[in-house]
Chains A and B, each alone.
Chain A
Amino acid sequence: MRPSENIEKLIRDVPVDTGAEIDKAVLGDVLKAFENTKETTSAKVGPNIWRIIMRSRITKLATAAAMVIVAVVLSTTFLDKSVTSAYAVEQTLKAYDDIRYLHVYYYPCTDDASAKEAWIQYDENGDVEKLRANLYSKSEKNKRTEMVWSEGITLIWRRYQNTFEIDESGDYTPVMLGFAKSIDPKQAIEYAYKNQEEGKCQIEIEEGSRDNEPIRITARYLPGKYCTVKSLPAIHDVLVVDPMTKLVIRKEVYKVLEDRIELHGVYKAYDNQSFDPNIFDIEKEISDDAIRVVHYKVDDVNEVGIDEGSLSAEEAGHVVIEEFFNALIEKDYKKAGRLFGGMPPEEVELEFGRFNVMRLVSIGDRVKRGDGLPSHYPCVVEIKENGNSSQWGPKVCIGKVGPLRKINRLRIDAVFQ
């Protein structure tokens, strides 16, 4: 028989399950009601989040920059606290050994930050196996960049530009893995302890007074020491740990300013919940008419495209287009491929050989399409099919070499109708 004092716990924790179909249907009703409400009422402007934060318990405790000094003075106390705590941070690190899936949402709380969402699948060694990152625009609701990384290849879908980039070169890999590292709670803890050893931050562990109250690990970074960004003020990373699973459920990032502490953003983690199996299959989401740009793996990027030199972007654009079509006329598919970002010659032949290009008739002025869409050059090309000549009007997009677009060489990104 249960101990009678457990009755409260029993009432609190009694499990309830729900039918998935009805869950979906009710949520549909609720969202529909919300959409109808939004249509009939103008957007309500709520109070400034910073005022709320300023009134919060955390803000009241911490006043201005003096907190940093206090943190240093009281470091011994903090260290004692962490040492005598019943909770040991190793428990959390160990808990992550079994974690295969991580879903993180970053809620920005300042105007200069934007929302992010990521799904990570780890392999048996704890290395990132697959990663999807959705980066939301802070200004436009539907403007977002969605990226998927797996086996060294990054797929980048910019729906608002209708462009889909495939990075086979691997240049994006360190960016993607660096991003995964920055949102991984386990790495955040390891990073904090490493910095504490180097005297760059102080860690405080605060356990809740009740059994189910979360544990808070606060890492107080000195100004300019957080992620080695010198321009940053003192930063407080607060990792909120579930006392049962010992996993980090939330990370709150605070900036310590002169007159206040400002919540910069909140990372909410959903560990080990299996994803929609299609989440990494981004290609299913790409529209049929999307402009596809491939960044091929090449031995030497200096052989790809042409050097911009002292030419203007428009002049260099004309040159690369002219050279490309001349190479097709001469059936020099190797050269055409180099101008097309390193496309293998056999692919060039398959893609463009059938046009049997005879002459480049004209290259029009660059057309800027606005709304973030890539600009292009309208061209007229004479082709020969079954002994008959005709004209073809492809549009040619030009871009800098490499997925990061940092190399001063221009290449053909795409040719479309």
Chain B
Amino acid sequence: MIEDKLLIWKFRRGSSDALSRIYEKYRNNLLRIASGLLNDTAAADDVVHDCFVSLAQSPEKLRVNGNLKSYLGTCVANRVRNANLARQRKATSGLNDAASAVSNAKRPEQWIIAGERLRQLNDAFAQVPYEQREVVILHLQAEMKFRAIAKSQNVSINTVQSRYRYGLDKLRSILDSEVEL
């Protein structure tokens, strides 16, 4: 990804154009990841917004040789975990129950305009245990290697691979029982 290396390089040197391009390039992917993890478009909006603002505030954290997509995906996943913890503290309901409760709520201004396919997929994700859901999303949507996911979740690579397999099986059975996406 030479373009990403150049973008990081320029961004670290103060280029707003490079930051705009990173935003434009990865915004949708991060929203997809956040909404999949949270199944709450409002919360997903906030997480991705905060993630980009945080990136803008600390360009030095980006390594030119790193994988930008994975880096941003990890940022989102970490913020989602924090958001979930905060929600659990306030909680009136559990994580998975809370998920779909607000997924279809309309707000006056929405960043994510959830289409039918995204909504169906997120609803299916909401029925998958969080650890499995995170592995599936980080591997497929953030293109993170199992090794990197294992490191971020602080578990063994075998555990991550098992979570991926179980998560995918569960999703498959949910989606196969529904109308085609």
A contacts, CB < 8 Å to B: 1-2, 4, 7-8, 10-12, 14-19, 21-23, 26-27, 29-31, 33-38, 43-47, 49, 52, 55-56, 107, 109, 250, 252, 263, 266, 268
Write out the residue numbers on chain B whose beta carbons fall within 8 Å of the beta carbon of A33: 53, 56-57
For chain B residues 148-181, which have a beta carbon within 8 Å of chain A?
Answer: 168, 171-172, 175-176, 180-181
Q: How far is the CB of B140 from chain A (nearest CB, A)?
A: 5
Closest to B60 in A: A44
- Whether A19 pairs with B56 at a CB distance below 8 angstroms is no
Write out the residue numbers on chain B whose beta carbons fall within 8 Å of the beta carbon of A252: 2
- Most chain A beta carbons < 10 A, residue from B2, B8, B27, B49: B2
B contacts, CB < 8 Å to A: 2-3, 5-6, 8-10, 12-14, 16, 19-20, 23-24, 27-29, 31-32, 35, 45, 48-49, 52-53, 55-60, 64-65, 109-115, 117-118, 121, 136-137, 140-141, 168, 171-172, 175-176, 180-181
Q: How far is the CB of A9 from chain B (nearest CB, A)?
A: 9
- Whether B3 pairs with A7 at a CB distance below 8 angstroms is no
- Whether B113 pairs with A7 at a CB distance below 8 angstroms is no
- Whether B112 pairs with A107 at a CB distance below 8 angstroms is no
- Whether A4 pairs with B31 at a CB distance below 8 angstroms is no
Secondary structure class of chain B's binding surface, majority of residues: helix
Q: How far is the CA of A34 from the CA of B11 in the complex (A)?
A: 10
Nearest 10 CB-CB pairings of A with B: A34-B56, A22-B111, A33-B56, A46-B12, A17-B113, A30-B52, A16-B32, A11-B140, A33-B53, A30-B56
- Most chain B beta carbons < 10 A, residue from A19, A22, A34: A34
- Whether B14 pairs with A43 at a CB distance below 8 angstroms is yes
Q: How far is the CA of A38 from the CA of B8 in the complex (A)?
A: 15
Write out the residue numbers on chain B whose beta carbons fall within 8 Å of the beta carbon of A45: 13
Q: How far is the CB of A274 from chain B (nearest CB, A)?
A: 16
Known A18-B31, A252-B2; further 14 A-B contacts with Cβ < 8 A: A2-B181, A11-B171, A15-B117, A16-B29, A18-B113, A19-B112, A19-B113, A37-B56, A44-B60, A45-B13, A49-B9, A107-B6, A109-B6, A268-B3
Q: How far is the CA of A279 from the CA of B10 in the complex (A)?
A: 25
- Whether B140 pairs with A22 at a CB distance below 8 angstroms is no
Q: How far is the CA of A43 from the CA of B60 in the complex (A)?
A: 10
Write out the residue numbers on chain B whose beta carbons fall within 8 Å of the beta carbon of A250: 2-3
Given contacts A1-B176, A7-B171, A7-B172, contact A26 B111 (CB under 8 A): yes
